[in-house]
Amino acid sequence: MPINELRSITTFVRTAELGSLRKAAAVQSITPQAASQALAQLEQHLGVRLFHRTTRSMALTEEGQRFLEAAQPALLGLQRAMQTAKITKDEMSGPLRIVGPHSMFVPVVGPVIKEFCKAYPDVQPDVQLDDRIGNWVEDRVDIGFRIGMSPHEGVIARRLFTLQLIICASPEYLQRCGAPDSLDALGAHKCCAYRSTNKGRVLPWQVKISDAVVDHPVAPAFCTNDEDIELATVLSGVAIGQLASVIAARHIRAGRLVPLLTRHVADHAGFFLYYGSRAAQPVRARAFIDLALERLTDSSEFVLSEKELAAAERKGRKLHKAN
């Protein structure tokens, strides 16, 4: 039978300190039989006898005394380390490592972090923005955010909200160039495209046709690998772009952008929160997870309903025609 070294050494030290195997068992909340077995396993493992036993007493052998002198300080240090880890786990202070993509992090997670820091000023967030899918276990990540499902095992995923991809133009662009009436008509318009940072290629737009989401390549009049530049380009009227609802929603609601071809909005992807085993999470991580879920789950701030999209498109096209 394999030996449980920690239990066996603890049983030995407690027996030596208390002078009784029964008392040592009670302190550890185990049966006297389990304590006796642990001690026997330790003696067998070491190949020495640690106690002289009689029906009434137990006394250390010479080998037992030497082993006690060596094991006692080490066991005390280990117990202190374990207690420190438990205390740290339950403290609302210390580092909190968070990762997420560049494009979505600031508008979505930024306000949550700000609120969390006000509530728990002794927690020190360590935020890393990275579009790649890293190994969150090896990178010691407490909480992660990303678009789509994670390929890694051992992480818990919580879908926060749907991510829509919306074709948009500014009112200035529509006044100057008109509005496309179909996907095919986009070929006659100036389009802004996104170049993948990881792969270096220009990404096609993703559009919904019937119930399927398909790639729709565009010939870019403007290309960038930065979402902020892409947004600025579309807002300034240089080109039409396909923007994520996280970025575009507030501008559509304010009238600075007009959604186009809204029947083709792709909404197959989602924005997810990831974390490891909740039972093993420090209390500060659990508190942040709870706040993020409360603030972001099914958030209407970053998602436009079909009715809202259609109304904004009608209004934008109507104003264009009137001008």
CATH number at residue 265: 3.40.190.10
pTM of the full structure: 0.69
Has residue 66 been placed in a domain?
Answer: yes
Say what percent of the chain tops pLDDT 90: 44
Residue 278 has pLDDT above 80, yes or no: no
Number of Cα atoms under 13 Å in the Cβ half of residue 54: 3
Residue 1 has pLDDT above 50, yes or no: no
Residue 138 has pLDDT above 60, yes or no: no
For residue 208, the model assigns a pLDDT of 94
| Same-domain pairing of 72 and 198 | no
Domain end among 54, 72, 90 = 90
- The first and second tokens of residue 144, run together, are 């992660």
Cβ proximity of 9 and 35 under 8 Å: no
| Same-domain pairing of 27 and 155 | no
- The first and second tokens of residue 201, run together, are 């290629």
Strand partners, 269: 163
For residue 151, the model assigns a pLDDT of 52
Tell which wins on pLDDT, 28 or 235: 235
Q: Which stretch of DSSP H or E encloses residue 194?
A: strand 191-194
d(CA 255, CA 258): 7
Residue-wise pLDDT tens digits, 160-176: 999 999 999 999 999 99
d(CA 37, CA 137): 37
| Same-domain pairing of 257 and 275 | no
| Same-domain pairing of 34 and 143 | no
Domain of residue 195, residue span = 163-269+310-322
Instruction: Look at 68-77, 143-152, 171-180, 308-317 and tell me which has the smallest mean pLDDT.
Output: 143-152
Residue 7 has pLDDT above 50, yes or no: yes
Residue-wise pLDDT tens digits, 238-259: 999 999 999 999 999 999 999 9
Read off the pLDDT of each residue in 28-45 and give the average, rounded to a whole number. Answer: 87
Residue-wise pLDDT tens digits, 38-97: 888 888 888 888 888 776 778 888 888 888 888 888 887 777 766 665 655 556 778 899
| Same-domain pairing of 108 and 217 | no
Over the chain, what is the mean pLDDT?
86
| Same-domain pairing of 49 and 186 | no
Read off the pLDDT of each residue in 137-157 and give the average, rounded to a whole number. Answer: 73
| Same-domain pairing of 51 and 139 | no
Has residue 302 been placed in a domain?
Answer: no
